[in-house]
Structure 1
Amino acid sequence: MKRRQLLWASAAIGSAALWPEARLLAQQAQEFIEGPPVGDIPAKQLSPHVWMVFSPDGFPTVENRGMMSNVIFAVTSAGVVVIDSGASLQIGQMAIRMIRKVTDKPVVAVFNSHYHGDHWLGNHAFVKTYGDKLPIYALPSTIEKLKGAEGNLWRSLMERWTNQSTLGTQVVLPNTPVQHGQVIQIGDVSFRMHHYGTAHTPSDLCVEVVQDKLTAVGDIAMANRIANMDEGSYVGTFKYYKALEAAAGEQMWVPGHGLGSKDLLKTYGEFLAGIWEPCLQAVKDGKSEAEAKAAVLKDPRVASRARAMQGYEGNIGKYTSLAYLEAEKEAF
């Protein structure tokens, strides 16, 4: 049904709202404009201040309506601080419902870890609920990236990947830049910013919740999903891990995809090394990319993840190729 027909039908049936057909048509009109709501996922407490609305899926589908990344929030004495707002207006609205089951305090700040849409398109819901003066923090490079075509590109991609389930989501950009090493005090909780160059992207912000010894790491590491490395760097990721661990010490590392753990950087780093090291060795030995891929697939650090890791089959070849290309630059 065309948009004009749906809007006309929605307006025309106000006096007959009790008719089953009329109610259905009105619902279809509203869903066409905004997309259907996302089902509730109760928040899990991770530490004294921090909770998470966990996404079991690592990629967007029609069925999950784009719910593919975690929404993390900290309850402070001054209000709620959200770290990554989700992939749509509807996901952000669901997260707000879940926050309100934990506390009646308002959301007073949002952090966006980087510019991929599943981590910031939910900003729309928080601004819609708490006002456009709500501080939304991100690295300057993330803000600049989203000012261009990137913001609308991600909005369009989410609509396509979910068969229009995220329709109605507006691009709401981060409005407050942060810098590496900056500490933002919100109520009784301190949030320390970390950025050590290119890892998953050139703009990865990790947010340390100081009092809880917990750091939200965005997509620089994942528990059970193969990470997008199209704009990233294997060498940069290893350097990032080393610098982050040196600066923050022992932490509960909480990713944007999957469950957190104290050894997340170690275990995911081993997986990445299982891709990187065979590729680097193949380049040094003058072997082809195909031979490098064969070595990667045999590496036990990679092979042990093959069955259970989300996105493995569809992406291991691509990210091996990227490792091989980066190894060529490193070796020469």
Structure 2
Amino acid sequence: MKRILFSLLLVNISLFGFDYHLKPQKVNDTTWCFLGKLEAPSKHNGGFMSNHCYVNTGKHYVLIDAGGTYEIAKQAYEQMQKIADLPVSTVILTHEHDDHWLGASFHKEKFNAKLVGVASINKNYDKNSKTRMFRMLSADAIKNTKIVKVEQEISEPTTLKIDDTSFQIIPVGVKAHASEDLFVYVPKNKTLFSSDIVMNGRITSNRDGSVIGQLKAVKMLEKMDFKNLVPGHGFDTSKNAMNETKQYFTLLKQRVLEAIENEVSAQDITKVVKMEEFKNKALYDELNSRNVFDAFNELEFYEEEE
């Protein structure tokens, strides 16, 4: 019976397009976010597995990230039109993982929105690139999605003023979650957008990142005066939103270094360091062991700075 229902779901997607049933979550009076599923991208979820947010600046919307496909971005914007029918002027793209920026192709096509973000998107992708979303999603879910270029590359702290709202865009400066990461702060309502530097409710993927860089980024975020923090993945947007990330990477560093001191080998590290406090979080089975193994490789010859 389950197989039949799943087949009917695929038929529905094929015939009528992928309907994400998106609902904006209000963070504060000017900010709404679409909070993705705590899953890896798949044909079943159509790539809706990351967070992206709209900020109303008075006459425009500014986006922090753009979702993983053209269709996600399109359906999200249609929901935002019901709140305020405003054009999108600017999209800030926080890092190069495709679940956060492929949706910018919709906003570029519809509004000619300015795309601001990390240089690694331009460096590592061109119009012919086929990212994991193109490889993993159905044809209907990925339709119309295109690779788009960042027009303003951010390499140092930058402030954008859109209407009556300022956006402080701050590069981490070292590899943290990805080779380049930005976070965004809106002083007007003390909202902090961490993107994938922070996740909650699920295990992070640190395949392109650094334990030391992640902890540095967390310290940078903690210095900000914020009321809300929107993670790259996860549903908690409160002041406590980064607690899980801080705990995970603090313990990961501590335990891997202790294991190295005790001469645990790379072959055995995942048997010794299990991070079992997080075993009930989404994607633990898929990602945690890889994170531990990668942390061993990073920290094997690590020396704490004075």
Instruction: State the TM-score bracket (shorter-chain normalisation).
Output: 0.7 to 0.9
**Helix, strand or coil at the partner of 1:264:** coil
1:186-201 map, 5 Å = 186-196=162-172, 197-201=174-178
Equivalent in the alignment of 1:89:
70
The answer as to 2:240 corresponding to 1:263 is yes
Listed as ranges, the gaps of 5+ residues in structure 2 are 1-10
Residue 243 of structure 1 deviates from its aligned partner by 2.2
Could you list the per-position Cα deviations for residues 98-120 of structure 1 after superposition, in whole angstroms to 9, with x for gaps in the alignment?
A: 11111111111111111110011
**Greater strand percent: which structure?**
2
**2:299 pairs with 1:320:** no
**Higher percent of residues as helix:** 1
User: What's the CA shift string for 1:98-152, capped at 9, x where partnerless?
Assistant: 1111111111111111111001100111122113xx21100234432334x8x72
Q: Does the Cα contact within 8 Å between 1:73 and 1:80 map onto a contact in 2?
A: yes
Does the CA contact (< 8 Å) of 1:62 and 1:163 recur in 2? yes
CA contact (8 A) 2:199 2:244 kept: no
CA distance in 2, matches of 1:243, 1:71: 21
1:80 equivalent to 2:80? Answer no
Question: Residue 327 of structure 1 aligns to which amino acid in structure 2?
Answer: L
| Residue deviations 1:268-312 (CA, integer Å, cap 9, x gap) | 110122222111111122222354323322xxxx322212x2211
2:49 to 41, 55, 68: 68
2:118 pairs with 1:115: no
Structure 1 SS opposite 2:188: helix
Residue number in structure 2 paired with 1:304: 277
SS in 1 for 2:300: helix
3-state secondary structure, aligned to 2:125: helix
Q: Secondary structure at 1:211's aligned position in 2?
A: coil
User: Which of 130, 140, 143 is the matching residue for 2:122?
Assistant: 143
Percent identity of equivalent pairs: 24
2:270 counterpart of 1:289 = no
Shift of 1:31: 5.7
SS of residue in 1 equivalent to 2:233: coil
The 5 A counterparts of 1:1-332 are: 36-131=17-112, 134-147=113-126, 152-154=129-131, 157-164=132-139, 165-196=141-172, 197-246=174-223, 248-259=224-235, 260-297=237-274, 302-307=275-280, 309-331=281-303
Query: Aligned to 1:96, what secondary structure does the other structure show?
Result: helix
AA of the residue aligned to 2:233: H
Number of residue equivalences: 290
Query: What secondary structure is seen at the aligned counterpart in 2 of 1:225?
Result: coil
- The 8 Å contact of residues 159 and 167 in structure 1, kept in 2 or not, is answered as no
Q: Structure 1: any 5+ residue segments left out of the alignment?
A: 1-27
| SS in structure 1 of the partner of residue 230 of structure 2 | strand
Contact 1:142–1:203 (Cα < 8 Å) also in 2: no
RMSD: 2.2
Q: Distance in 2 between matches of 1:203 and 1:73?
A: 22
Contact 1:106 1:130 in 2 (8 A): yes
8 Å Cα contact 2:167/2:187 also seen in 1: yes
Q: Aligned to 1:169, what secondary structure does the other structure show?
A: coil
CA distance in 1, matches of 2:229, 2:267: 34
- Return the offset for 1:325: 0.6
- Say whether the 8 Å CA contact 2:192–2:226 is kept in structure 1: no
Q: How far apart, in 2, do the equivalents of 1:39 and 1:200 lie?
A: 27
Larger-Rg structure: 1
Which shows bigger deviation, 219-228 or 284-293?
Answer: 284-293
